[in-house]
Amino acid sequence: MNVRRVVTGRTPEGKSVFVSDTEVPPVTLDLLPGAEFHRLWGSDVPVQLPSDGSPAPIPQYFPPLGGFRFGLFTVGPDAVTLPTDLDIPTAFAEIQQKLPGLADVLELDHPGMHTTDTIDYEIVISGEIWLELDDGQEVHLKSGDAVIQNGTRHAWRNKSSRPCVLAVTLIGARPAQK
């Protein structure tokens, strides 16, 4: 599904204007059947206002400290499985090409589990999903529920029969000293 993105900005004279009104197609990945990633907006640095509404380059999927990302994330039902003939190295290369940095945080020995240096604000737009934390702790979320994810290890599990759509804002945070 494409998502309509309307962007506002200001002219050099200070007048508010609509800068763009476009359809944003999803990013899909062979390794995550049923998933869609809509990268709608972001920046790697704090935004200076007023802004002309020009999009900033966001080369990595996750933002650095001081950066942010906004988008939609669709999680397909767990029942949607990987093709038996999937070439895993090629699938990981696809993730790195389409969503740079995402594969870097995935735990290969615990599918779906990951930890990022971000504060994440998520709102379930439609469907339902289970948020899993360490030791299998889970919470069931439905449309209208919100999550504030504070850089914790987690995975999204869709145990239902239909896709779940989440609106997601990621804020780059200072990583823990290792």
Mean pLDDT of the chain: 94
Q: What is the DSSP letter of 63?
A: -
pLDDT, mean of residues 85-92: 88
- Residue 177, in any domain of the structure: no
- Residue 178, in any domain of the structure: no
pLDDT, mean of residues 132-147: 96
How many structural domains is the chain composed of? 1
pLDDT, mean of residues 105-126: 94
pLDDT, mean of residues 3-18: 94
Domain of 73 in residue numbering reads as 3-172
- Residue 163, in any domain of the structure: yes
**What pLDDT does residue 178 have?**
62
Render 100-158 in DSSP notation, one character per residue: TTHHHHB-TTSTT-B--SEEEEEEEEESEEEEE-GGG-EEEEETT-EEEEES--BEEE-
* CATH at residue 36: 2.60.120.10
- Residue 23, in any domain of the structure: yes
